[in-house]
Each structure stands twice: as structure tokens, then as C-alpha cells.
Amino acid sequence: MKKIGIIAKNIPAAHKAAQKLSSGLTKKGRLVLIDEVTARAIKAQGHDRETIASRADMIVVLGGDGTLLSVARLVCAAKRGVRILGVNLGSLGFLAELSQNELHDHLEQAIAGKLAAEERMMLTVSVVREGKRIARYTVLNDAVINKGALARMVGLDVLVDGGRLTTIRADGLIVATPTAYSLSAGGPIIHPMIHCFVLTPICPHTLSNRPIALPDTSVVAVKLVTQSEDVALTLDGQIGYALKQNDIIEIRKSHYRVKLIKHPSKDYYEILRTKLKWGE
């Protein structure tokens, strides 16, 4: 791999790491493509993120899961199978598995394609209003229908593959891939290689409304049946879209998968134990 993209979180620690990484790669004859914000911070030539996603052979993400989620959507939009190497500079880092200290020990292996990569499923989320698809997104983690701070509970009709599942009265609903951990809402931890996604009600009015895992072949349609001016669709926790009564949110498995380079020595369970502090 000769063209290496660097996309960093807009914080000093990530800028410093990007500068060091860029310098080392350049000395080894690689073409380095740095995102514009980071490039301005370190006084280098920058490129917009869409260009990096469309040109790079591999992208190193310096930040945390939030930064990686945004890059995953860019790669999907570019319709490319470029690998992503996540380096965790944040507080949790389920997706960005490598630490900054581990990066330089394993970077050359990653560039040489010697580190394994997992293909993670993504979701295609559409908003249908009065029979017309007015918005469409592809996300890695989740699509969340949630009410505002002052709004009442929302009513949601949920259909799976055209058949009625239930009507939920709740603060909202999370539809998540196995890469998302809706733990605070009572959702399960799911191994990322299990082919499914999970519907988790947020603070449901009826306690029998529990999370349900569905096969990744399912098509979910969620209709907002209550009238409210303060209900939104949030995608990967980063994109918001205001909803209206009778809007339908359609969710299905995307045709695209994102390739995340795995930690070279730690398996999923070790990372899980470490991040959730099990046994401490």
C-alpha cells in the first residue's frame, strides 16, 4: 500500500500523533493524505475527507469510535473496500482497537496487509414521508428514534418484513448492528460476527417491551404515529434528522461492509473485558 490516509480527531493529542505518523510514512516513501483540519494544525498539505476515502489504500484513524464511525460512512459512500486502522485516543474505543503506543509496532504489518481485517455490517436507513423517500443514510452503529427533552412519550408502530411486530410507547427506539452496544438502554452485547441487528426500546411504557434480535435479512419499518414537533432520527450519534407524524423509517442491511483491521494479538473477548472492566 502506497497511499495512506490519516484522519484525526480535532484535538492536540491527535494532531501530534498525526504529525509523527505522517513524518515517518513520508520518510519511507509513502504518499500521505491528511485531512484538512489536521493538516492546518500541523502546517501540512491537506485533503478533504471525501478525497481521502476515494484515493487512499488504507486509512489510519486517530481518535476514538466517533471519528472511526464518520470515516466508515465516508468509505461506504466512496463504494470502496479500503481498510481502516483505528487508533484509540479516546475514552472507550470498542471499534478503534489499537492504542497509540501499539500503532508504530504494527503499522508496517498493517500496510503490508499482514493484519487480518473484519468485515462489519452496516445499515441503510431511509426516511419515507407521504410515500416518498426523502432521506437515505448508511450507518455502522445505529439508528435511533428519540424524543426531545420536553416531548412526551412517542408511539411507534414496528413492522418486520411487512408484518406487524408491535406498537411501542417509549422515549424512543434504538436499531443497532452488532458493533453497537446499547447497554444503557438494556440492550445486549452481541459478537460482531453474528449476522443480526437489535431493536431496543428506550424507557418503554410497558416493561414487557424488551430488546429483540432480528436476522440481518430483515427489513424493519418504524412509523411515528404520535404527533410531536420534537422527535428526531439520530444516525451513529452524529447526524440528526427531524421527523414528522406518520413518517416511516425503513432499516435494512446495507450492501456495503466496512473493513476494520483487527488487533494483532488481542481477541474480541480480551478487548471486551478490558473496556468494560470486567473482573476489577
Q: Which residues are catalytic?
A: 65
Can you tell me the distance from the alpha carbon of 191 to that of 95, in angstroms, rounded to the nearest whole number? 12
Residue identified by cell 466517533 is: 66
